[in-house]
Amino acid sequence: MKLRQLVLAASLVAAAATSALVSTAAYAQAKEQFFPVLPYRTGAYAPNGVPWANGYADYLKLINARDGGINGVKITFEECDTAYATDRGVECYERLKGKAQGGIFQPLSTGITFALTEKAPADKNPLITGGYGRSESSDGGVFKWNFPLQGTYWSGADIIMQFLTKKENGNLKGKKIALVYHDSPYGKEPIPLLQERAKMQGYDLQLLPVTAPGVEQKATWLQIRQSRPDYVLLWGWGVMNSAALKEAVATGYPRDKMFGVWWSAAEPDVKDVGEAAKGYSGLVVTGPGGKVIEDVKKFVHDKKQGTGPADEVGSTLYNRGLVSAALAVEGVRAAQERFGKGKVVNGDQIRWGLENLNMDDKALKKLGLDTVMKPLSTSCLDHEGSRSARMHTWDGKAWNYSSDWIEADTSIIKPLVKQFADKYAAERKLTRRTPADCQS
């Protein structure tokens, strides 16, 4: 009898030990927040996609190495290369979405964003589309899962037009403005805002689409040589940008009359043109150097954990990727503030965190981000958070700031946002969110 009791006791102890091990393993696994990453390190747009992806990955590594994760929750992440193709982007989304109970996706493509906007609500996966995507998705009352943080294309187009208006002493009437744009959802996004301003300001808008990837632009620049617009706005990506600058040189169009959006004004866009691109300007929403860049070098690159080359750290697109990762991390952190510090949060909780961001000067300084991004604050109805940028100009060897920060004019943009968001909601039979839903 005693023997049977001893065997039973031993079995119970063994079972308890096994259970403890399983619980410990499950707990350890549960203490990891998974970040799906949809970069493009291959394809025609890789030269611009790679530095963004490296900045994104390095920041996630920094949070683990410097901070021990987000309130103790370690970050894991996995990349799936989209090559900037919408079909591959959707495939990558489907492949990665099951690895977490809701995760933040950043498509880095307006085309992929359009596709995922239809999928995210059912899957409860928030989308950060920082500086791209659907411009009307800044309206959180309709687009519950989309977060075009730091500015939409309407904001970007408005800022450029404000800059040109000031340059022309407040009057653009009778001026010719040509938009050379990537013939895709991305390139078409600024058109409604530019058309609205054309009606208000009396300038003539010329629309010149360029077929992807944008290497061949001779016909486009022949039209520009014939019409001689006062200004050319460049809405390109990847090789399209350097090709446009080379064609401008070949046709004699002044580079100081060319102004690009933030995806058309980085180091890869001008390095092959060099001195010939001197005078070209474009928007930028991030700043240089500072504590976070020093920390990336110290905690990541000096430890031989850097994702790309060390000399890339601090470049325009690298910083944009770094800030994009920071926005995702802070969305998780904000969710933890409500749902429990040190906990893994799900997609719906992260969505709440993203629409309750308060990255003020104090918070940014604490994170070492105060030199690379402007303060940002979101709400249920405002999923953009901030909408300012400045101009920088290429001097033949480097970019130099050529304007102060310019805030997009919401008196022009808000009516457009409501018009397009209401149209989207009507087409899909959606109702606007209630105040109660905003608190959920």
- The total number of structural domains in the chain stands at 2
What does the block give as tokens for 144? 């519950």
- Could you give the percent of the chain with pLDDT greater than 70? 93
Same domain, 43 and 144: yes
- How crowded is residue 153: how many other Cβ atoms within 10 Å of its Cβ? 28
pLDDT reported for residue 148: 98
Same domain, 313 and 202: no
| 236: Cα separation from own chain's centroid | 16
Residue 343 located in a structural domain: yes
Residue 404 has which token pair?
């102060």
pLDDT in tens, 156-192: 999 999 999 999 999 999 999 999 999 999 999 999 9
Q: Are residues 161 and 224 in the same domain?
A: yes
Same domain for 322 and 211: no
Cα dist from 28 to 20, 23, 43, 100, 416, whole Å: 12, 8, 37, 14, 47
Q: How would you classify the pairing of strands 258-260 and 231-235?
A: parallel
Query: CATH code at 191?
Result: 3.40.50.2300
Question: pLDDT, tens digit, for every residue of 230-256?
Answer: 999 999 999 999 999 999 999 999 999
Is 351 contained in some domain? Answer: yes
pLDDT in tens, 423-436: 999 999 999 999 89
Supply the pLDDT for residue 1.
40
Q: By 3-state DSSP, what share of the chain in percent is helix, strand and coil, each rounded to 5? A: 50, 15, 35
- The mean predicted confidence, pLDDT, of the chain is 93
| String of DSSP letters for 47-110 | HHHHHHHHHHHHHHHHHHHHHSSBTTBEEEEEE---TT-HHHHHHHHHHHGGGTTS--B--S-H
Expressed as residue numbers, the domain containing 279 is: 154-284+393-401
Is residue 437, in this structure, part of any structural domain at all?
A: no
Residue 21 belongs to some domain of the structure: no
pLDDT band at 30 (very low <50, low <70, confident <90, very high): low
Q: Tell whether 50 is covered by a domain.
A: yes
What pLDDT, in 10s, does the model give residues 355-378? 999 999 999 999 999 999 999 999
User: Is a pLDDT exceeding 70 seen at residue 133?
Assistant: yes
Percentage of the chain lying above the pLDDT 90 cut: 90
pLDDT digits (tens, 9 = 90+) for 282-336: 999 999 889 999 999 999 999 999 999 999 999 999 999 999 999 999 999 999 9
Strands (DSSP E) contained in 142-292 are: 146-147, 176-182, 204-210, 231-235, 258-260, 281-284
Give Cβ neighbours of residue 131 (< 8 Å, ≥ 6 apart): 148, 149, 150, 151, 152, 153, 156, 262, 263, 285, 320
Torsion of CA 117, 120, 125, 130, to 10 degrees: 0
Q: Domain check: are 267 and 295 in the same one? A: no
Question: Which residue, 334, 354, 382, sits at the end of a domain?
Answer: 382
68-111 confidence digits (pLDDT tens): 999 999 999 999 999 999 999 999 999 999 998 889 999 999 99
Task: Say if pTM beats, i.e. exceeds, 0.75.
Answer: yes
CA distances from 181 to 84, 209, 362 (A): 16, 5, 39
Per-residue pLDDT tens digits for 40-68: 999 999 999 999 999 999 999 999 999 99
Domain boundary residue, one of 332, 350, 382: 382
Given a cut of 50, is residue 196 above it in pLDDT?
yes
Q: Are residues 378 and 301 in the same domain?
A: yes
Give the model's pLDDT for residue 416: 98
Give the tokens for residue 100: 């977490």
Question: In this structure, are 147 and 158 located in the same domain?
Answer: no
Tokens of 375: 């303060």
What would the pLDDT profile of 252-284 be if each residue is shown by its tens digit? 999 999 999 999 999 999 999 999 999 999 999
In a domain, 98, yes or no: yes
Within the chain, how many helices (H) and strands (E) appear? 17, 14
Q: Is the pLDDT at 38 greater than 60, yes or no?
A: yes
Examine residue 1 and state whether it is found in any structural domain, yes or no: no
Give yes or no: residues 189 and 176 share one domain. yes
Residues 40 and 175 both lie in one domain: no
| Residue 128, token pair as written in the block | 């950060």
Q: Verify that 102 and 248 share a domain, yes or no.
A: no
Residue 348: inside a domain: yes
Same domain for 299 and 263, yes or no, is no
Give 117-128 pLDDT, tens digit per residue: 999 999 999 999
Are 120 and 159 members of one domain? no
